[in-house]
Chains A and B, each alone.
Chain A
Amino acid sequence: MRTLIRILLACVALAATALLGMAPAADASGTDAFTATKTVTRTVDGATTSKDVTVSVDHTLNLRGRERLQISWSGAVGTSAQATNPYGATGLTQEYPMVIMECRGTPDTVKPETCYTSSIAQRSAGTFDGDSAIWRRDPAWAGATAPTDPCKTPNNYTVPFIAANGKKFDYCTDQDVAPESLLPAELLGYTSKEGTGAASFEVRTDVENESLGCSHTTACSLVVVPIMGTSCDARKGDDLQFAYCSANRTYAAGTGYGEFEGTPAVKGNYWWTASQWKNRITVPLTFALPANTCDLLDKRPPVGFYGSELLAQASLQWSPAYCLDQKRFKYQHNQMGDASGFDLMLHDQAAGALVSSQHDAGADQVAYAPTAVTGFGIGYVIDRPAYDENGNPQVGGEVHSLKLDARLLAKLLTQSYTGNAVGAQHPGIESNPVSINEDPEFQKLNPDAPRVGRIEGATLLSLSEASDTVEQLTDYIAHDKDAMAFINGAKDPSGMVVNPSYKGYKLPTQTWELKDSFVGNTDCWKANPSPFFSLMAAPVSRMYTITQALIDAQPNIQTRCEEQVNAATKWKLGKIDRQGYGNRFMLGLVSLGDAERYGIDVAKLETTDGTFVAPTHDSESAAVALMKQKGARQPFTLDQAAVKKSATAYPGTMVVYTAAKTCDVKADVADHVASFVRIATTEGQVPGSGNGRLPDGFLPIVKTGATAPLFKAAQQTADAVAAQKCAVPAVTPATGGTTTPAAMAPAAVTPPAASGPDKAAATTPTATTPVSMGTTKAPTAAVGFVLLPVLFALALAGALASVVARVLVASRS
């Protein structure tokens, strides 16, 4: 009997787990991913070698411009003569690479002519003599089936490119190529000796690459060609020719990072020969509606929500779900600083504000609805150095794990690294490290990262505008003893000191000010007297700019000071160069939504001593569980002191709220806001890449678990906004000094239906323009305030004391 019960219980538990597993989180990436295995072959003189190559792509649906796919493969031939930069033409020298391109067409219609490459070399092969023209020996592409070279050059073949509009580019000269001049996205990835490899691939839409022309209407595919070597037939041509086309690798698998030039037959150049092209694995891609879909398809006036950029990626997916549904309204997210958006909402210029913390509403009644859980991250792009400390080449690639603590962030933000020789002249920090790379604290946490000081490692690209993100980041620093000790002037264990301009800087802050006014002491800086450290920090106004800088590895550091020949101004300041592949190092403040969309690595942040937490659904849930709501319909606050004690919560977790007034808002606007909150917290929380779904980088808000209070609060706020029931505030500000009359007016004077500007007119229909009558100056009487409580207290105190005195008398007699 007992056994039976146990079995029953086990069944129930299983069923429960299964049900939980069916919660939205489970189908997040399921259908989106792609995996295929193909047997790839090379036939040399009748002898066939084959490999079973499996290619996986993490997501393939509803892609957007510059989104990065994570591609991994196994079973391939190991790459040798590995290039430092596998992207574009520079990767061609490798033996047995994995050629990855974006091509227009479905798996059935894709052909080499629709695959975009950024250079001629990637689609053409020229030889000095006919002997080495190995494509001619390809049995699958010989004789009548071999096309003639469009360039009509002897011993040459070039694959033309057919643009989306049908125009054919022959790629014979520099004049005859597709007009896009982009950083190469296509790459020749490395395969390890074990046959595995991984790469991230940036997809381009017709916005970035019009000639390729991928969009939601034009199908495109990712083509992966595992290079096995061109097949060749001994019976065609002479021995020399056969030797060329049947050659194998020159170098051992896994070697590279030098001046190598691989064997032509197994290089990436010949991906287009028939025998290699048939080895391709084609991954169908679909593209999302473009960002301007709603503007094009929906002529209704938009309902504007203003504020946090953290929600940008979600809004991108959400907005078509509103504007394409005539029963709904046209949702528009205008990104700006949280405080600016909140002000617009207060002044009825915006239906709702998207903010991440409580803002001063003055006399207005504002409710906050949790709309999305996401956060910020310290994004990075770091290449492992190509040479070790002794100067020997080593296996490169990107660093995919970075640990940072609050003090390192404080050092970066306070501009305490000197950057270069000019910065090292700054009084007080002469002996500080040049950059984070030289900082022993950083080296200890990240042994993989390059250790040579460089100006790109001296700064964290951050925001110049007031932002709740900056506030939370600085709040995280403010709750770290070591970091605050450093800012307040204490030396760190290696003797580094804070930049005196930031000594004692008050944290947290909404805006990180640029306080340092040091001007370099060289000829160039004397000619251009600008604050060196401010130009090194060079914060930007939008997080997406930081994201792009990280994608392109283009730091925003403006301290390049160059001598110009034959120019009126001899010395000129400018931005430093884009970083070369293999030598990249850059840190920036990004939103988690952007980081996931564009495949940017995000650093783990220290919470308890020695514990580093990465942003994951688990760590964000743990942070949400620590949040406390300030009151009904008010925001939740994340106490960083609690995060510091938790080993699991991610400190950058932030909730984006829809803030809206619950009083004196036009009924239709109020309805829009309420329905936005309701939709966003229900169908908008289903993970996925489709319209109206929640993108990666966001933790779904659901009815159960850690996010349950958020869900409940959102529904309460939606109800309150829809109801528009004005409650009398318990206490009003004393003199109205800080609150503008416009902000005060709606709560008190107008009937709910009247809208902003005509509220004065509503009371006097004859008046054409509202006349300001000044503000109410209510007389006060302090007696009125204290009278009753004081009387009561006196009565109580008198009675008590009198009894005590009596008791004392009795006890002493």
Chain B
Amino acid sequence: MSTVVSGRRIAEPGPVKGRRFRLPTRAPRTPRPARQPRPKVPLTREQERLVLMSSVLTMVAIVCLWSLAQMLLLGRLSEDRSQGLLYPEFRHELAAQTAPTGPTTVDADGKTVAVAPGEPVAVVSAPEIGLSQVVVEGTAPSDLLAGPGHRRDTVLPGQEGTSLVYGRATTYGGPFGKIEDLRAGDHIYVVIGQGRVDFTVLGVRYDGDPLPPAPAAGKARLVLTTAEQLRWGMSPGRAVYVDAEAPKAYPAPSGRPAAVPEPELAMQTDSGAMPLLVLCLAGLVAVTLGVIAARQRWSAALVWVVATPIVIALSWGTTDVVMRLLPNLI
């Protein structure tokens, strides 16, 4: 969002363009302080329009840049941090033998509850491509911000049957960005609550490739899924699969949902994030207004110091919400 403080604009990117772009229109109207020694030449109508346009475009650029930065750089930090928290948590659960072994788990009170989305359920690693990630439960776009997600209507990786694990290819650390490089015969190691399973990659499967036969009884199939990549972070926006199989498998407890909501399917978006987005944007507007008001009263430095972290935090949160509106595998 943008604020106008004594003729200077502080731009804070937010995800939705329309709202923010209108704000700078007030810029020319703001009274200029005496610090501008040049005699004021009243701007012509045309110049005003140009200034307005320039401001709008600056906003557009800043919003886009922020989004890019968040997806590619800040998102990586965020994902790294999530993993950094998830790993010890899962390690602790493994040690305590409380790691989920199925769709449900027993909570502290001894009640059987469904494994909540976002809980760590497995660690997947593939040394050939330097992959080592904690897999969380759930594959909705928001779940995948923290790392690869396990699709909830499939068995856990390493259990008998086919398990689907989704991961982002480019954004938020792109944990699955390199799985296309896996070759038949490469190994994928998975650790779940029941133990460790050694998968052997069958191959990379693109759109139109024949589906592999269903896994035989007693075997575990792992299908890593992400978005296909071209070069320079480009993607055809199409899912790509890596099939892997393990000869031994742990038994899979029952209780899996028969289906998962649409946002948890590959390449889907979560339109349920809309209300939250409205809230976030409203928050940004509120902050903007607050900054304008504060600027009347306090010095610029003070307002800067106070407002910047708030704005950045809000923007960060807003972009995270926006990510839920984008396909989950990119």
Identify the A interface with B (CB < 8 A). 363, 726, 728-737, 739, 741, 744-745, 747-752, 760, 763-767, 770-789, 791-792, 794-799, 801-806, 808-809, 812-813
Contact = CB atoms under 8 A, between A and B. Distances in A.
B58 A798 contact: yes
Given A779-B265, A809-B47, A812-B44, A802 B210 contact: no
Contacts of B245: 763
B241 A808 contact: no
Nearest to A806: B54
Contacts of A734: 207-208
B208 A783 contact: no
A664 B215 CA distance: 22
Nearest to A789: B234
B209 A748 contact: yes
B227 interface: yes
B274 interface: no
Contact of B207 (A735, A765, A789, A798): A735
Lowest 7 A-B CB distances belong to which pairs? A736-B208, A784-B237, A798-B61, A805-B54, A785-B237, A795-B64, A773-B211
Contact of B209 (A770, A776, A779, A786): A776
A682 B259 CA distance: 63
A732 to B, nearest CB: 4
Contact of B57 (A730, A750, A776, A805): A805
Nearest to A762: B202
A227 to B, nearest CB: 76
B144 to A, nearest CB: 13
Interface stretch (B89-97, B100-108, B177-185, B290-298): B177-185
Interface residues of B, number: 68
B61 A794 contact: yes
A803 B206 CA distance: 44
B230 A788 contact: no
Given A734-B207, A799-B58, A751 B184 contact: yes
Contacts of A813: 41, 43, 47
B96 to A, nearest CB: 37
B51 interface: yes
Given A781-B330, A806-B54, 18 more contacts: A363-B209, A732-B209, A736-B208, A739-B208, A744-B209, A751-B202, A752-B185, A779-B239, A783-B327, A784-B236, A784-B267, A788-B68, A788-B72, A788-B233, A794-B61, A797-B57, A799-B65, A802-B57
18 contacts: A726-B183, A733-B208, A739-B208, A741-B209, A745-B210, A749-B203, A763-B212, A765-B216, A766-B216, A773-B210, A778-B240, A781-B329, A782-B237, A784-B329, A788-B170, A796-B61, A802-B58, A813-B43
B258 interface: no
Contacts of B240: 778
Contact of B212 (A773, A783, A786, A792): A773
B248 interface: no
A749 B210 contact: yes
B57 A748 contact: no
A10 to B, nearest CB: 55
A766 B216 CA distance: 7
B211 A791 contact: no
B214 interface: yes
Contact of B327 (A751, A771, A784, A802): A784
B7 to A, nearest CB: 14
A751 B57 contact: no
B184 A752 contact: yes
Contact of A792 (B60, B64, B269): B64
B228 interface: yes
A768 to B, nearest CB: 12
B205 A788 contact: no
B10 interface: no
Interface of B: 41, 43-44, 46-47, 50-51, 53-62, 64-65, 67-68, 71-72, 170, 180-181, 183-185, 202-216, 227-228, 230-231, 233-241, 243, 245, 265-269, 326-327, 329-330
B236 A805 contact: no
A795 B209 contact: no
A767 B236 contact: no
B213 A767 contact: yes
Given A760-B213, A809-B54, A795 B65 contact: yes
Given A776-B207, A776-B209, A778-B207, A787 B326 contact: yes
A651 to B, nearest CB: 39
A776 B57 CA distance: 43
Contacts of A806: 50-51, 54
Contacts of B205: 748-749, 776
A775 B211 contact: yes
B48 to A, nearest CB: 9
B267 A779 contact: yes
A751 B214 CA distance: 17
B200 to A, nearest CB: 9
Nearest to B61: A798
B241 A778 contact: yes
Nearest to B330: A784
Contacts of B50: 805-806, 808-809, 812
Given A748-B206, A781-B237, A809-B51, A773 B213 contact: yes
Contacts of B183: 726
A784 B68 contact: no
Contacts of A736: 207-209
A781 B267 contact: yes
B184 to A, nearest CB: 4
Contact of B208 (A744, A752, A798): A744
B68 A792 contact: yes
A729 B204 CA distance: 11
A797 B60 CA distance: 9
A330 B170 CA distance: 51
A567 B50 CA distance: 98
A257 B49 CA distance: 100
A498 B185 CA distance: 61
A749 B212 contact: yes
Contacts of A809: 43, 47, 50-51, 54
Contacts of B236: 731, 780, 784-785
Contact of B266 (A779, A786, A791): A779
Contacts of B207: 732-736, 776-778, 780
